[in-house]
């Protein structure tokens, strides 16, 4: 495999391969000098056509820990604003000699299109409402690092399912590993044909809390508030936010996760953020580890594809 | 909010043995054995002899640590450490670790077998110790070259010594073993398969 575009493309075996590789990367990250020369001489371009500080920083940190060179391209300061087409932009970057391209784009399917044009390995760092595979892989790693088995694990995903690539990729990853997934949202934030995602659906957070092993809160995208999908952020918080009372009805061994950035007082109450069950910073740490694994596997498998059998 | 970093965690969970092939590996060819060159018993004898040589050379086991090269060298390292413990028991035994040299190779992704690296496990400091690096087969020397870099990333050993069960020749780098189980002249296109039950010479088909 030379591109990572979706979770479906990996399947359970591919997810486990990434996890096994991530274990080796976690060891590297635990060293006093967390750096190895594995990708020395390779160049990783991060092409972010949509703002994202944390995902870009995470990928670039991962690339540097493997000694790759990093070429940073952000659309806001680029020729995209001068009207250059996506294809011309990609071909220009590739002509500089890059081995992997990490793509974030507001349009679903953009990384797939770029993968068709580019010889370099393409890694999807989030496209539209479609997919965000490395987020799901780091979430799987975080749950697995707690010693939890996915078989029968009850995972609740709360929030704007409709506009969330994180939700789509995470549902795919959790189901592939045998977990039971429930999406919890008001009807206005569920996509049409939600049942096609393969998860159970609930509109009542209180009803599912006691039966949840992992509570995954999605970011409420403030920029969507003008679409009147929820009456107000305060109303959303009362119905679907993790309040102190709701945190009490969640099991003591449950995990609370969030892809960040968190809206305090919307998805989660400020007083719950310091709850010992919250794993948000572990997710960030594991993001670097898992992205190291993905960069390594994609580039190593590209190299081995070129070897005569 | 907890700030504990994600643990290096459950890499020793048994259900995680990876034999799938989503990210690809170099084509696996079947090994056809032609000659058995060492029996399991002979391997045990060779390992014991190497243990005596290690003790003779280092005078004491106090500062000796044994490190196996993933993946074939790890059982050899354990066997050598067990032999050392039998010859001269020390408190707690000789420390044994393992190193995966994949991250230090100069041929990313093109070594045979899985491209998924093993977890390096060095639960002890290597500074000022005598490191006995163990592998199953010494061939071109390129894995050992990578392993020297991998080990020295962890500190500055007083010495690094190389123990191999089989030296099959064909070196491409100025690397020589300090302890050898068996010198085995081979043709370049032959293949050597090693387990603690026996060493076979044959071909990949």
pLDDT at B15 (0 to 100): 39
Percent of chain B with pLDDT over 90: 79
Nearest to A1 among B6, B22, B117 (CB): B22
Report whether pLDDT(B25) > 60.
Answer: yes
Tokens at residue A64, please? 């540097």
Angle in degrees, CA A151, A159, A247, rounded to 5: 70
The pair phi, psi for residue A181, each rounded to 5°, is: -115, 130
pLDDT tens digit sequence for B87-127: 999 999 999 999 999 999 998 877 777 889 999 999 999 99
pLDDT tens digit sequence for A214-273: 999 999 988 777 788 899 999 999 999 999 999 999 999 999 999 999 999 999 999 999
Q: If you average pLDDT over every residue of chain B, what do you get? A: 89
Q: Taking the domains of chain A in order of start, what are their residue ranges?
A: 11-132+284-305, 147-278
**Domains of chain B from N-terminus onward:** 30-107+116-204 (3.40.50.2020)
Give the residue from chain A lying closest to B153, CA to CA: A33
Report whether pLDDT(B174) > 50.
Answer: yes
The reply to whether A147-278 shares the fold of A11-132+284-305 is yes
Nearest to A23 among B11, B27, B108 (CB): B11
Interchain proximity A10–B153, CB inside 8 Å: no
pLDDT at B2 (0 to 100): 38
pLDDT at B6 (0 to 100): 37
**Euclidean distance between CA atoms A240 and A186, whole angstroms:** 8
Matching residue, tokens 């005598």:
B130
CA atoms within 13 A on the CB side of B110: 10
| A-chain residues near B109 (CB < 8 A) | 299-304, 307
Tokens at residue A51, please? 């703002």
pLDDT at A79 (0 to 100): 67
Nearest to B4 among A31, A141, A282 (CB): A282
Report whether pLDDT(B78) > 80.
Answer: yes
pLDDT at B14 (0 to 100): 36
Per the CB < 8 A criterion, the answer to whether A160 and A134 are in contact is: no
pLDDT at B8 (0 to 100): 37
Sheet holding A180-184, edge to edge: A200-202, A180-184, A154-158, A214-217, A255-257
Q: How confident is the model at residue A307 (pLDDT cuts 50, 70, 90)?
A: very low
pLDDT tens digit sequence for A8-38: 999 999 999 999 999 999 999 999 999 999 9
Q: How far is A249 from chain B (nearest CA, A)?
A: 18
Does A284 contact chain B (CB < 8 Å)? Answer: no
H helical segments located in chain B: 40-58, 73-87, 142-152
Comparing A302-306, B193-197, B200-204, the range with the smallest average pLDDT is A302-306
A 10 A CB-CB count for A118 gives: 21
Tokens at residue A194, please? 């939600």
The CATH number of the domain covering residues in A11-132+284-305: 3.40.50.1370
pLDDT tens digit sequence for B40-76: 999 999 999 999 999 999 989 999 999 999 999 999 9
The CATH number of the domain covering residues in A147-278: 3.40.50.1370
**Euclidean distance between CA atoms B28 and B113, whole angstroms:** 7
Greater confidence, B161 or A226?
B161
Report whether pLDDT(A181) > 50.
Answer: yes
Active-site hit among A6, A42, A43, A55: A55
Per-residue pLDDT, averaged over A65-74, amounts to: 94
Axis crossing angle, helix A280-305 with helix A11-29, rounded to the nearest 10: 110
DSSP codes of every residue in A244-260 = HHHHHHS-TT-EEE--S
pLDDT at A144 (0 to 100): 98
**Euclidean distance between CA atoms A157 and A153, whole angstroms:** 13
This model of the complex carries an ipTM of 0.89
Buried b or exposed e, range B11-27, using 16+ CB within 10 angstroms: beeeeeebebebbbbbe
Report whether pLDDT(A83) > 80.
Answer: no
**Euclidean distance between CA atoms A285 and A142, whole angstroms:** 9
The pair phi, psi for residue A183, each rounded to 5°, is: -95, 135
Matching residue, tokens 């894995």:
B143
Clarify whether A55 is annotated catalytic: yes
Axis crossing angle, helix A110-117 with helix A86-95, rounded to the nearest 10: 50
């Amino acid at each position: 495999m030379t591109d990572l575009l979706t979770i479906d493309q990996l399947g359970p075996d591919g997810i486990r391969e990434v996890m096994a590789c991530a274990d080796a990367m976690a060891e590297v990250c635990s060293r006093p000098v967390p750096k190895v020369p594995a990708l020395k001489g390779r160049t990783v371009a991060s092409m972010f056509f949509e703002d994202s500080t944390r995902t870009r920083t995470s990928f670039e940190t991962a690339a540097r820990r493997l000694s790759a060179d990093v070429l940073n391209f952000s659309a806001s300061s680029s020729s995209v604003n001068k009207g250059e087409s996506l294809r011309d932009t990609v071909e220009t970057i590739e002509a500089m000699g890059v081995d992997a391209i990490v793509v974030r784009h507001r349009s679903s399917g953009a990384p797939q299109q770029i993968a068709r044009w580019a010889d370099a390995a393409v890694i999807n760092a989030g496209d539209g409402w479609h997919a965000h595979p490395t987020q799901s892989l780091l979430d799987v790693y975080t749950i697995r690092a707690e010693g939890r088995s996915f078989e029968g694990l009850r995972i609740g995903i709360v929030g704007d399912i409709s506009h969330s690539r994180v939700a789509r990729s995470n549902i795919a990853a959790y189901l592939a590993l045998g977990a039971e997934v429930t999406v919890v949202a008001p009807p206005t934030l569920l996509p049409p044909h939600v049942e096609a995602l393969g998860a159970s659906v609930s509109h009542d957070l209180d009803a599912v809390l006691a039966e949840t092993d992992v509570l995954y809160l999605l970011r409420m995208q403030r920029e969507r508030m003008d679409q009147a999908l929820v009456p107000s952020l305060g109303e959303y918080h009362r119905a679907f936010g993790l309040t102190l009372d709701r945190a009490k009805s969640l099991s003591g061994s449950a995990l609370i996760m969030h892809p960040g950035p968190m809206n305090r007082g919307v998805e989660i109450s400020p007083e719950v953020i310091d709850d010992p069950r919250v794993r948000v910073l572990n997710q960030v740490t594991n993001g670097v580890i898992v992205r190291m694994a993905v960069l390594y596997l994609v580039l190593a498998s590209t190299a081995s594809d070129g070897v005569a059998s | 909010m907890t700030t504990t970093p994600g643990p290096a965690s459950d890499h020793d969970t048994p259900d995680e043995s990876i034999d799938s092939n989503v990210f690809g590996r170099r084509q696996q060819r079947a090994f056809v054995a032609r000659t058995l060159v060492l029996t399991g018993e002979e391997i045990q004898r060779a390992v014991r002899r190497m243990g005596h040589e290690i003790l003779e050379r280092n005078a004491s086991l106090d500062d000796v640590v044994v490190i196996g090269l993933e993946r074939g060298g790890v059982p050899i390292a354990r066997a050598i450490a067990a032999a050392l413990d039998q010859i001269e028991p020390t408190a707690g035994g000789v420390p044994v670790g393992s190193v995966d040299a994949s991250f230090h190779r100069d041929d990313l992704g093109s070594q045979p077998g899985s491209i998924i690296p093993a977890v390096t496990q060095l639960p002890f400091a290597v500074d000022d110790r005598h490191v006995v690096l163990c592998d199953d087969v010494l061939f071109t020397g390129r894995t050992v070259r990578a392993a020297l870099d991998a080990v020295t990333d962890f500190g500055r050993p007083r010495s690094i010594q190389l123990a191999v069960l089989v030296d099959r020749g064909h070196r491409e780098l100025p690397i020589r073993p300090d302890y050898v189980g068996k010198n085995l002249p081979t043709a370049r296109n032959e293949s050597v398969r090693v387990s603690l039950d026996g060493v076979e010479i044959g071909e990949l088909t």
